[in-house]
């Protein structure tokens, strides 16, 4: 199973947001870290399903260490999000 890096961000007075370096523009949020992890899986799966429907190529996951080296370090935490099919 492919696992993509998700960057969880948290600012004062806001929910936790997650972005995906391999999929610019894909962003989602949750009230807690646990909720954010769950919605990240859904957002990733939905976005990749759209890519597949469009007949485009799905990029391979970037290595975690490569993403961390390029990160602006504003992320609260880095997670690996498994790409799961939409049921």
Q: In this structure, is residue 78 part of a structural domain?
A: yes
How many domains are contained in the chain? 1
How far apart are the C-alpha atoms of 65 and 50, rounded to whole Å? Answer: 28
Interval 8-30: pLDDT, tens: 988 788 899 999 999 999 999 99
Closest CA to 37 of 59, 7, 66: 7
Range of the domain at 64: 3-82
What lies within 8 Å, CB to CB, of 16 at 6+ separation is 8, 9, 10, 29, 30, 31, 32, 33, 35, 36, 76
Answer yes or no: is 27 within a domain: yes
36 assigned to some structural domain: yes
Q: Is the pTM of this model over 0.85?
A: no
Does any domain span residue 55?
Answer: yes
Q: Return the CATH number at 15.
A: 3.30.160.250
pLDDT, the chain, mean = 88
Q: Which helix (H) or strand (E) holds 56?
A: none
Is residue 87 included in any domain, yes or no?
no
């Amino acid at each position: 199973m492919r696992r993509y890096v998700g960057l969880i961000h948290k600012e004062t007075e806001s929910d936790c947001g997650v972005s995906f370096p391999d999929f610019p523009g894909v962003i989602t949020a949750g009230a807690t870290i646990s909720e954010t992890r769950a919605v990240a899986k859904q957002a990733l799966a939905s976005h990749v399903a759209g890519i597949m429907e469009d007949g485009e190529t799905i990029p391979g996951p970037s290595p975690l260490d490569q993403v961390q080296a390029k990160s602006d370090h504003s992320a609260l935490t880095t997670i690996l999000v498994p790409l799961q099919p939409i049921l």
